[in-house]
Amino acid sequence: MPDETVRITRRHREWQAWAGSTADLERIAQLMQKLMDQRRDALIAVYERDHPLPTPVGKPDATEEDGRAFYEYLSYQQEVARIERAINEIRVATGLKVALTDRHADEVIGEADVLAEFDRRTYQVVKFDGKFPHSAFSERLEVKMERQTPLAGLSLQVTSVEPGWAKQALAELSEEIDHGSPWWGFFRTQRGSALFGMLLFILVTIVGGLLLTLVDWKASVESWLAPGVAAAFVLGISVSESHRPWLFPSIEIVNEGEKPKGSRVIPFLATLVLTSVIGIAINTVK
**Closest alpha carbon to 125 in 98, 154, 101:** 101
Pair 253, 123: CB distance under 8 Å: yes
Question: pLDDT over 70 for what percent of the chain?
Answer: 67
**Closest alpha carbon to 35 in 200, 173, 217:** 173
pLDDT tens digit sequence for 159-189: 999 999 999 999 999 999 999 998 878 878 7
Q: Kindly indicate the confidence band of residue 62, based on its pLDDT and cuts at 50, 70 and 90.
A: low
With a cut of 50, say whether residue 240 has pLDDT above it: no
CA distance 20 to 26: 10
Q: Kindly indicate the confidence band of residue 236, based on its pLDDT and cuts at 50, 70 and 90.
A: very low
CA distance 122 to 248: 18
- Cα 160 to Cα 32, 45, 89, 94, 195: the distances in Å are 14, 16, 19, 14, 39
Pair 286, 58: CB distance under 8 Å: no
CA distance 110 to 118: 12
Read off the DSSP letter of residue 114. G
Stretch (H or E) spanning 225: helix 217-247
Name the residue with higher pLDDT: 62 or 73. Answer: 73
φ/ψ region of 257 (left if φ > 0, alpha if ψ in -120 to 50, else beta) reads left
- Domain regions of the chain by residue span: 9-181, 184-285
Name the residue with higher pLDDT: 129 or 214. Answer: 129
CA distance 239 to 258: 26
Close Cβ partners of 105 (under 8 Å, ≥ 6 residues apart): 124
- Whole-model pTM? 0.76
CA distance 137 to 83: 19
- Cα 18 to Cα 37, 50, 98, 252, 262: the distances in Å are 26, 43, 18, 7, 11
Q: What is the pLDDT of residue 120?
A: 81
Mean of pLDDT values over 39-54: 91
Pair 213, 284: CB distance under 8 Å: yes
Q: Per DSSP, which regions of the chain are E strands?
A: 9-15, 18-20, 95-102, 107-110, 123-131, 140-146, 154-160, 251-253
